């Protein structure tokens, strides 16, 4: 059985507008000048606390910023202009993988469990993923804990697991866990950052991802060889 793990923000969903808006609201609540959009998006994938340490420094009111961000996000997600649409091809890719009897799907995300639950509700994904790892239950990426926990939950080995994400944190996490890292170019970080972090390959669309996954899924693990 193969385990295919997806990052969420920047990989499955285009959440950049609501992330930046929520960050700005959090900084405004504390009278702090918000960072540039580029910097705001560069930390997507980290846990909220780690992200705000990068954005505001370790001496900033991190706990308060995290709370303000969550509160703003909860309000702003009702604004159609700040929707989190799926990237083109994401639903078709997931549906195709779900139909296979040799694949389990997983999520490893810097989102909170509450944020993921909203996503599952919106897209009717409650039965789609065999394992869901969030920032609430593991150290922040690039620590490998999310992937290690996911593999343990479903009984998968590193040789039979792949991590798909848009950030250097995803790639470094995958390398640290000993699984195959596949980068996507449509997310929030430049391709060079993914390459430097150890991406095995980088795809430009879900259509391009399909043959890469087919090759991974068709190969024998050492235990099967």
Average pLDDT, the chain: 95
**Alpha carbons 131 and 58: distance in angstroms, whole number:** 32
Cis preceding linkage at 142, omega within 30: yes
* Residue range 13-29: mean pLDDT, rounded: 96
Q: Please provide residue 138's backbone torsions phi and psi, each rounded to the nearest 5 degrees.
A: -160, 160
User: What is the per-residue pLDDT for 23?
Assistant: 97
Q: What is the pTM of this model?
A: 0.93
CATH topology of domain 2-14+84-218: Rossmann fold (3.40.50)
The CATH number given to 16-82 is 1.10.150
Whether the pLDDT of residue 219 is over 90: the answer is no
Taking residue 5's Cβ as centre, other Cβ atoms within 10 Å add up to 30
* Residue range 11-26: mean pLDDT, rounded: 96
Taking residue 176's Cβ as centre, other Cβ atoms within 10 Å add up to 17
* Residue range 57-79: mean pLDDT, rounded: 95
Taking residue 112's Cβ as centre, other Cβ atoms within 10 Å add up to 18
Whether 2-14+84-218 shares its CATH topology with 16-82 is answered no
Tracing tokens 């709370």 back to the chain, one arrives at: 67
Which region among 114-123, 146-155, 215-224 has the lowest average model confidence (pLDDT)?
215-224
Q: Which two tokens stand for residue 42?
A: 């560069």
Whether the pLDDT of residue 220 is over 70: the answer is no
Give domain limits for the chain.
2-14+84-218, 16-82
Q: Count helices and strands (H / E) in the chain.
A: 10, 6
The dihedral over CA atoms of 149, 153, 159, 165, expressed in degrees to the nearest 10, equals: -60
* Residue range 182-194: mean pLDDT, rounded: 97
Cβ-contact 206, 86 below 8 angstroms: no
């Amino acid at each position: 059985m193969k385990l295919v793990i997806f990052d969420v923000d920047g990989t499955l969903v285009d959440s950049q507008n609501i992330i930046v808006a929520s960050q700005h609201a959090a900084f405004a609540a504390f009278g702090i000048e918000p960072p540039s959009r580029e910097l705001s998006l560069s930390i997507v994938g980290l846990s909220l606390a780690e992200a705000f340490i990068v954005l505001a420094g370790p001496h900033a009111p991190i706990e308060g910023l995290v709370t303000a961000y969550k509160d703003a996000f909860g309000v702003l997600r009702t604004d159609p202009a700040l929707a989190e649409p799926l990237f083109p091809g994401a639903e078709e890719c997931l549906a195709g993988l779900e139909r296979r009897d040799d694949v389990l799907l997983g999520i490893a995300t810097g989102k909170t469990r509450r944020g993921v639950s909203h996503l599952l509700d919106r897209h009717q994904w409650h039965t789609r993923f065999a394992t869901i790892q969030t920032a609430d239950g593991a150290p922040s990426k690039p620590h490998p804990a999310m992937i290690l926990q996911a593999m343990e939950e479903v009984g998968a080995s590193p040789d039979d697991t792949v991590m798909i994400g848009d950030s250097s944190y995803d790639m470094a996490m995958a390398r640290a866990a000993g699984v195959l890292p596949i980068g996507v170019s449509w997310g929030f970080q430049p391709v060079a950052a993914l390459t430097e972090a150890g991406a095995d390959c980088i795809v430009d669309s879900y259509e391009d991802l399909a043959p890469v996954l087919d090759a991974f899924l068709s190969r024998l693990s050492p235990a099967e060889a």
